[in-house]
Amino acid sequence: PFPAAASEFKMVHVANGRAMIEDDTGLWVVQRGSVLPDSSRVASIEQRGGKWVIVTSTDKVIQLSK
């Protein structure tokens, strides 16, 4: 009856237009259009202010983890 809790994940690597994300179940390679653990999609993988970010279809911005 209640929506599932949003899954937490972080971006750990970027290369060749793809990003590697990590959640509690493992590592995943995603690209534009891929479904993310929180059920949104990757809208873009881009640099902002010299830092890599994933922008989701819900306008959430996930920065590359250090």
Token duo for residue 18 = 């793809």
pLDDT tens-digit map of 7-61: 789 999 999 999 999 988 899 999 999 999 999 999 999 999 999 999 999 999 9
Burial per residue of 20-48, b for 16 or more beta-carbon CB atoms within 10 angstroms, e otherwise: ebbeeeeeeebeeebebbbebebbebeee
**What's the pLDDT score for residue 7?**
75
Q: What is the pTM of this model?
A: 0.85
